[in-house]
Amino acid sequence: MITRKNIGTDGRGNNVELFTLTNGNDTQAKISTLGATLVSFLFRDKTGTMRDVVLGYDDPVSYLDNKGLYFGATVGRCANRIANAKVVIDGTEYTLEANNDTNNLHSGSNGVSHKMWEPESMDEEQNALTLKILSKDLEQGFPGNMTIKVTFTLDEEDALRIAYEAVSDKDTIANMTNHSYFNLAGDDAGYIGSQKLKLYADSFTPLAPVGSVPTGEIRSVENTPLDFRDFKEIGQGIEDDYDQIRYAKGYDHNFILDNKGNLALMAEAVCEDTGIHLYAYTDCPGVQLYTGNFIHEHKGKNGAVYGERHGFCLESQYVPNAVNEPAFLAPFLKANQIYSSVTIYKLALD
């Protein structure tokens, strides 16, 4: 079932709508037209209590007041960092906004994460909602008028499928992600350190000491705090005296996935208290594990108080700065070709 309601303005004169997808288990995914944002993901835990497992806000304005956090947002055209906010496409250098030190992060302040999306279609049978946006030529510094669609589908197995499709009239870049912060104990439950995580990755892309841009190296996770090949508590290693952990102030790293472009598991996470188990799948070449190291103390949904490391993100993506780094597969998109990508977050009980 899909319902829609108006949830007020964004403070810039736009009305924001909230769509609620509900399945037969009472699982709900709530998506707003501001940033095509996953506002809530509600699931019944092992005690019968409904838990909202993503961080967010009740009102649209808070999403704009806390732009740097990207709670639940659809991020693009290019997720994560581009070094020195510059990229060369077909021999022409394009300058982007340097909104994170000297680098571009999540496509800058004109990113689609804080723009209004239009409802394109609702499919009651599939429990699917498609939102659409036009990202104009050079609006973010990238060439081409690009139409981007994102479809959220909630199935009867409690899987939330997020499918992206984009097409541009000039050669450009496409690298979309969803920036949900998960807390499997509930969004108001605080530190996520005791929740367990498994990543389907043998290697990661180490960061330079400043600026959080990958150096081009691909490093094995073996004998590092970034080894999540078997379930381990997220808090374990998060303060280790290891250069990569110090540079990022915790986990904020891209891991290399071996899915060869096919939809496959990228991660699992479990909270023993609620019994909630997250299965995350993608066809992207990488995933950013970000442990909310920069969440400042502030108010969230329903009076919740959020703070440092109260949520973890599993952002499926190309390797950050792959557009400038020959060692990595880059997200260039040819004019009139279709970019498509799928990520699934599925909830279950252990």
- From CA 57, how far away is CA 314, in angstroms rounded? 20
Give dist(CA 232, CA 256) in Å, integer: 18
Q: Which of residues 237-256 bind ligand GLA (CB under 6 A)?
A: 252
Helix (H, G, I), strand (E, B) or coil at 323: helix
Residue of 5, 46, 68, 302 interacting with ligand GLA (CB under 6 A)? 68
Indicate if 315 belongs to the active site. Answer: yes
What's phi and psi for 164, nearest 5 deg? -110, 145
Give kind and range of the element (H or E) at residue 100: none
Q: Give CA–CA dist 284/276, Å, rounded.
A: 25
Query: x-or-dash pattern for ligand GLA, window 84-123, by CB under 6 A?
Result: ---------------------x------------------
- Residue owning tokens 């691909």: 218
Nearest to ligand GLA of 142, 181 (CB atom)? 181
Q: How far is the CB of 310 from ligand GLA (least distance, A)?
A: 13
Choice among 106, 114, 179, 310 that is catalytic: 179
38, 28 Cβ separation under 8 angstroms: no
Number of CB atoms found within 10 A of residue 206's CB: 19
Q: Binding of ligand GLA at residue 209 (CB under 6 A)? A: no
Q: How far is the CB of 292 from ligand GLA (least distance, A)?
A: 8
- Binder among 31, 245, 269, 313 for ligand GLA (CB under 6 A): 313
138: left (phi over 0), alpha (psi -120 to 50) or beta: left
| 69 binds ligand GLA, rule: CB under 6 A | yes
- Piece in contact with ligand GLA (CB under 6 A), picked from 29-37, 65-73, 198-206, 230-238: 65-73
Q: What is the dihedral of CA 155, 156, 160, 161, to 10 degrees?
A: -30
**Which position among 74, 172, 212, 341 is part of the footprint of ligand GLA (CB under 6 A)?**
212
How far apart CA 133 and CA 119 sit, in angstroms, is 9
The one segment of 110-118, 225-233, 274-282, 286-294 that binds ligand GLA by CB under 6 A: 286-294
Query: How many residues of this chain bind ligand GLA (CB under 6 A)?
Result: 12
Least distance in Å: CB of 181 to ligand GLA? 9
> Is 179 tagged catalytic?
yes
Q: What are phi and psi of 235, to 5 degrees?
A: -70, -20
**In the complex, which residues of this chain contact ligand GLA (CB under 6 A)?**
68-70, 80, 105, 212, 252, 288, 290, 294, 313, 315
